[in-house]
Amino acid sequence: MPDVDPHVIVLFGATGDLARRKLWPGLLHLAEAGLLPDDFRIIGSGRHAPEGGLAQDWPDALRERVTFVVSSADDGSALADAVQAARSALGDASRTLFYMSVPPSAMEPMVQMLGDAGLANGRVRIVVEKPFGRDLATAQALNATLHEHFDEDQVFRIDHFLGKEAAQDILALRFANGLFEPVWDRHHIAGVQIDIPETLGLEGRASFYEETGAFRDMVVTHLSQILGFVAMEAPASLDAQHLRDAKAAAFADLRPLTPQDTVYGQFAGYRDQEGVDPESATETFVALRAFVDNDRWRDVPFLLRTGKALAEGRRVVTVTFREPEADIFDGEHRPNEIVFELTEDPKLAVEVRVKEPGPTSAVRRAALTLDVERALNEHGLEAYERLLHDVLLGDHLLFTRADEVERLWECAAQLLEHPPEPLAYDQGSWGPDAAITLAEPIGWRLPERES
Ligand code: BG6
């Protein structure tokens, strides 16, 4: 690993759900793997001190570098003192990293507070959690506030799906091989689906979810970013500017989303959950059809689906190919598919038709499967770990840029203004029936197509 400057890491939302599940374990794992700087301090911050301290399960030698300081949008003075003290302890070459794991409505005031408290000066970087704003206007306002205090190269808008090994495998498959890219277009591909059903419900996040909903939580963020990786042209190189230029160009060609091509759902019982408005119209499910209006993709449907309390928890990207024109074989009529499983342990399958063994000429579907970690005998980093590490190195490759995020909100404007009424669906189902018909004629791959 290249030499990393000593870091003061300030974690806002230090006692929140994301910090507990991903950020603290991620930091510990990086420390244990020798991927944190030799010298660092972590200052957890939030409005209320945690009961029983932070990083309780960390080894003593690491935990003694962790402190907690109360801060709020109105008062960053104690935090400023603590950051100053930590910087002095680490010396002039140190950097400060602010990780903003705060709800969307708190983001702008907190960024403003950093500026007012003088914390944005010096060798500073800031990580901003998604969703980035609520719509185009609020995203622009947040970008403007960020840019008042930080240069764009200090800002890291995180979308942890891009940190998943398997998401980067989409790029590797496309651009490191001669086999796939020549057929990666509308002449050969009939449709793409990005399907992220979750069995999870609200998991105690009712207030976040009520203000966010499935579209803002997942679609304009994770699913759209994956769409960017699938749809983009080959970047000139794998540096952050080239990659993000290429992704932004794909988003520029994204056709604005429409209520007609979108199904919203809400799982039965959602309104009875603690913290949820009994008349809530928040969608817990979205399925939609998107199009990228350029020569590569014209008229190819990109089907996106995600939701809570569904039948299975999966993250599947499926690229469905057109069938050969001459159909000379008997047997199964299934198109070829490339299937990416965006699990931490990435898996890839290419589904083909092969001759059924025996005295027949019929064909049947079978899969060429690849378990990447097993094949290469290596383990990757968890998405947040990878991205935290990238921030320490100052690498923007897997972070989203202001223009990309604003363009995605722009494409969402019509839908946000006229959202479809959420249709009720049973917990443990695949969402409203209307979402099934939306995907015709290709149809959702999940539940797994029978072979
Ligand atoms: C988060 C969303 O960004 O992503 C959650 O806020 C969702 O609602 C989660 O459950 C899914 O991430 P992963 O990595 O577990 O698939």
Backbone angles phi, psi at 421, to 5 degrees: -60, 130
Is it the case that residue 451 has pLDDT exceeding 50? no
Is it the case that residue 417 has pLDDT exceeding 90? yes
For the chain, state the CA radius of gyration.
23
Residue nearest ligand 1's atom 6 by CA: 217
pTM of the model: 0.97
Q: How far apart are CA 225 and CA 287, in angstroms?
A: 16
Distances (CA, A) of 232 to 245, 247, 249, 373, 396: 9, 5, 7, 26, 17
Residue nearest ligand 1's atom 2 by CA: 217
Closest ligand 1 atom to residue 161 Cα is 14
Q: Any idea which of 130-139, 307-316, 325-334, 350-359 has the lowest mean pLDDT?
A: 325-334
Which protein residues are within 6 Å of ligand 1, measured from CB?
A: 160, 198, 200, 217, 315
Residue nearest ligand 1's atom 16 by CA: 315
pLDDT of res. 320: 98
Residue nearest ligand 1's atom 5 by CA: 217
Q: Give the residue, 138 or 451, on which the prediction is more confident.
A: 138
Q: Which long-range contacts (CB under 8 A, 24 or more apart) does 414-419 make?
A: 414/256, 414/257, 414/258, 414/259, 415/215, 415/257, 415/258, 415/259, 415/262, 415/288, 416/135, 416/215, 418/259, 419/215, 419/259, 419/264, 419/281, 419/283
pLDDT tens for 333-360 read: 899 999 999 988 899 999 999 999 999 9
> If you average pLDDT over residues 422-439, what whole number do you get?
98
pLDDT tens for 90-105 read: 999 999 999 999 988 8
pLDDT of res. 381: 93
Residue nearest ligand 1's atom 8 by CA: 217
Distances (CA, A) of 247 to 233, 294, 296, 404: 8, 13, 14, 8
Tokens read off for 59: 């080894």
> If you average pLDDT over residues 169-194, what whole number do you get?
97
Ligand 1: which of 218, 224, 283, 341 to mutate, most ligand atoms within 8 Å of CB? 218
3-class SS letters over 41-77:
EEEEEECCCCCCCCCCCCCHHHHCCEEEEECECCECH
Q: Smallest Cα–Cα separation from 421: which of 280, 325, 305?
A: 280
Backbone angles phi, psi at 103, to 5 degrees: -60, 155
Active site residue 222: yes
pLDDT tens for 228-281 read: 999 999 999 999 999 999 999 999 999 999 999 999 999 999 999 999 999 999
Tell me, in angstroms, the distance from the centre of ligand 1 to residue 63's CA. Answer: 27
Q: How far apart are CA 305 and CA 196, in angstroms?
A: 6
Give the other-Cβ count within 10 Å of 282's Cβ: 22
Closest ligand 1 atom to residue 196 Cα is 16
pLDDT of res. 234: 97
Ligand 1: which of 18, 130, 157, 161 to mutate, most ligand atoms within 8 Å of CB? 161
Q: Smallest Cα–Cα separation from 408: which of 244, 241, 170?
A: 244
Is it the case that residue 27 has pLDDT exceeding 50? yes
Tokens read off for 266: 């809400």
> If you average pLDDT over residues 118-136, what whole number do you get?
96
Tell me, in angstroms, the distance from the centre of ligand 1 to residue 100's CA. Answer: 17
Ligand 1: which of 222, 316, 317 to mutate, most ligand atoms within 8 Å of CB? 222
Tell me, in angstroms, the distance from the centre of ligand 1 to residue 284's CA. Answer: 13
Amino acid of residue 124: V
pLDDT tens for 30-49 read: 999 999 999 999 999 999 99
Backbone angles phi, psi at 368, to 5 degrees: -90, 115
Residue nearest ligand 1's atom 14 by CA: 161
> If you average pLDDT over residues 167-194, what whole number do you get?
97
Helices (H) and strands (E) in the chain, counts: 14, 15
pLDDT of res. 2: 65
Closest ligand 1 atom to residue 164 Cα is 14
Tell me, in angstroms, the distance from the centre of ligand 1 to residue 94's CA. Answer: 32
Q: Could you tell me the pLDDT band of residue 450, with boundaries at 50, 70 and 90?
A: low
Backbone angles phi, psi at 42, to 5 degrees: -120, 125
Angle (CA) 84-89-90 rounded to 5° is 100
Tell me, in angstroms, the distance from the centre of ligand 1 to residue 219's CA. Answer: 11
pLDDT of res. 222: 98
- 7, 149, 160, 222: the catalytic one is 222
pLDDT of res. 204: 87
Is it the case that residue 413 has pLDDT exceeding 70? yes
pLDDT tens for 278-308 read: 999 999 999 999 999 999 999 999 999 999 9
Q: Could you tell me the pLDDT band of residue 428, with boundaries at 50, 70 and 90?
A: very high
Maximum Cα–Cα distance across the chain: 81
Ligand 1: which of 217, 225, 226, 398 to mutate, most ligand atoms within 8 Å of CB? 217
Complete DSSP assignment for 380-412: ---HHHHHHHHHHHT--TTSB-HHHHHHHHHHH
Q: How far apart are CA 159 and CA 137, in angstroms?
A: 20
Share of the chain above pLDDT 70, in %: 99
Tell me, in angstroms, the distance from the centre of ligand 1 to residue 382's CA. Answer: 13
Tell me, in angstroms, the distance from the centre of ligand 1 to residue 448's CA. Answer: 22
Sign of dihedral through CA atoms 20, 26, 27, 28? Answer: positive
